[in-house]
Structure 1
C-alpha cells in the first residue's frame, strides 16, 4: 500500500500538531502520524508551561481561546535568588509585560490534537509507528509505517520528525547529533490546594533549582532539580521523602503539607542535553526531536510551537506551490540556529551544575533590586531576547550602576 502527501509528520504532540495545522492552512495535504492509539494521550514528563515567546504561534493556531476556556493560567514568572526575589512588573504607561501560559499536558495535548484533526487537509493517523525512511536520489521521500500489524508506505515531498527527544526519525535519518551530560536530577508532582501560589515561581539556589507553576483545574506543578552528586543517593533511597524535604526547605516554600498531592512523584535521574542538526535533504526536525535541553528552564513546549512555525515559514510556500523545499530547509536550519543556539549553549553549560558566573551574578542581583533590570531579565527568561542582548555591554553597565547605588534594607545611613 502507498499513500502520497505533501508532508508527512511523525508525532502528534505540540510540534507535530502545530506544523500540521500551519501546513494545512496553506493548502498542503498532511499525514499526521502518532504511535499512540488514543486521542487523549499526553506527555507526562514536562514542565507544563508555555513561555511568552510562543504566544504569537498559539494565537495564530486559534489555540489561545481554547486554552483559556480550559483553565490555562497566565503567568509572569517570579524568581528567587540570594539577592532577593525578581518580580517583574508592568512599566507605568507602557504595554503590559508579555505573559505565558501554564497548562497541564493532559489538557493541552488532546485539545491540540483535536484541533489538528479538525483542520481540513490534515489526515490524523493514530496507532501508526514509523520503522523506516524512504529515500530516492539522495533525499528522503517518505516513511514506512506499521499499524495494527500491517505495513505501508507513505510518500511526501517533506518528512517532518516531531517525535520528541528520543526521535525515531532523527535516528533513522543519520543527522549529526551532539549529546552532553546534564548533572541534575529532575522530579515533579502535582498538588491541589496551594491557594497562595498565584504567580509562577522559580528558585535559583545556585546551583540547585526548583519551581512551582499554578496550572489549570486548581493544580500546581511543583518540581526540583538538585545536583546529582549531592542528592542522587538520597532520591534513589527515598524518592518521596527526599522530594518533599527539598521543597519544604525552599525560601518562601510552597505549603505542600496543606495541599493534596494528586499525582505520583515522577522524573528522571538522567536526561542529557540533545542537539541534532534540524534538517536534511527532504527532512526536518522540530521540537525536542531537534533540540532537547535541561527542563529546568521550561522552554521545550514553547520551542516546539516556535520551531513548527519557523519550518512552515521557510518551506510552506514551496510545499503549497509544489516547488523545491530544499532551499527553504536551509533557511529553516539557519533560523533555528540563530534563534536557539546561544540559549541552548548557555543552558547546556549551566547543566554542568556550576555556580553563576560573574555576568550572571551582576545581572541577577540588579534584577532583584531594580524594576527596569527585572523587566530586562523577564524578557530573557521568556526567550524574547537572546543571550547577546541580555548580556550586552549596555545591559551590564546598567546593572553595575544599579548595584553600585543599591543600599541594602536596614543599612545605616551614609555619613
Structure 2
C-alpha cells in the first residue's frame, strides 16, 4: 500500500486506505498457517453505515494483503441492513475431503433495518484457503423470545465439556432497570443454535462490580493461564452515558457445569482490559499455546465527523497482543512476530528526549516513566500520555498510540499531529526503533 500523505494515517495498522473500520471479526488461522482477519467495514465513506466485512490476511502478523470481502448486506435477507460482529473458526463438524483441518466458517450478527438492536445469528462458509466466501450467511438462531429484551448480538463460539457452545451479548429491561446478560446456546451443529438459558447475568455481585452496563457487547470467553477470562464491551443507552460504547472490562472465573451439563460462568474478579479512551470491541483468538487479542481503536472524541469525512477513513485495529494473567490482572505483551517491523535502531539523544517528525512510526522501550506530547510549530505543547507503570513498550503509528506495560493493563490513545508538528517522547527510555512494514508479501 502506498504511503498516504495524511500524517495521521496509521499505515502499519490499516491495509485499506479508505472508508470506515470498526470491530475486528472472524479471525482464524487456516491449515496453511495463514491468518485471516475480518472487520466491520464501510468502503463507501468514513461513517458507520452499510456495514460489510473487510478482509485481510498475513503469513506472519506483519505483512498483510487485502483479500476479497467477507459477508455483505443482501436485500431481502436477515442481514440486509448490515453484517455486524462475530467470530471465525475451523468447523471440523462440517469437514469434507476438500478441507483437511475443518471448514473456515464465519458466525455473525445480521441486522435487517427493522430493529437493529435485535440481531439474528448467521453462518457463512469460506473456501479451504479462507479467502473466498462460497456459502452466504444462513440464519442459525432467530431472536429469542425473552420478555424485556432490549438487544442481542455478537455471537461467540467455544468448546467445553465435550460440546460446542454459543453465547451472545444481550440486555434485558427489568423492574429495577437494565440487566446485561450472556445468552447461552448449544451449537454442535453450527447452523442450528438452541437456546438453553443464561451463562451469566449482570446482577451477579462480581459482574455488577466489574462490568456494569445496560447491555454486554462482543463477549469473548477464553482460557488464559489456567483460568477462564470473559471480555465484555460495556454498552449503555446514549441518554444515560456520554457515549453508548463505553469501555472494555474483563471478568476472571470458572466454567462450572450444572446438574444438566449446562455451563455457568462463575466470576471471582475483574478489571479493565485497556486503560485508554480509544479501545473497544476486542476479539480474542486461541493460537496454540497463546491467546491473541485485536481491538478496535476508534477516532478520538476531539475528531469531528467533518474532519473524519475529509480524511476519508476512520478507525484502526490495534496490533495483536498476547494475553496473560498476573493474579487477577489481565496483561498484554508484544508478540515476538512484531519485531520484524523494526527498520533501524534510533539514537537516543542526551536527556532521553526523542523528537519525531510526523508521521511517526516507532517502537520505544522504556524502563519506567514515559510521556508523549505533540509540539506544534507555534511552540505549544499538548500532552497525549503520561505513565509510570514500570517497563513498557510504546508503539506510535500516525494517530495511533499503544502502551503495553509489562506489569499493568495496556493503554490505547489517539493523537492528531498536523503536518510539521513534532511528537516528543521522553522519560526513562531504554531503546527506540523506526518501524516499517517489510516489502515482502505472500
Give the shorter-chain TM-score range. Answer: under 0.3
- Greater per-residue strand proportion: 2
TM-score, normalised with respect to structure 2: 0.25
- Greater per-residue helix proportion: 1
TM-score, normalised with respect to structure 1: 0.26
Q: Which has the higher contact order (CA 8 A, sep 6+)?
A: 1
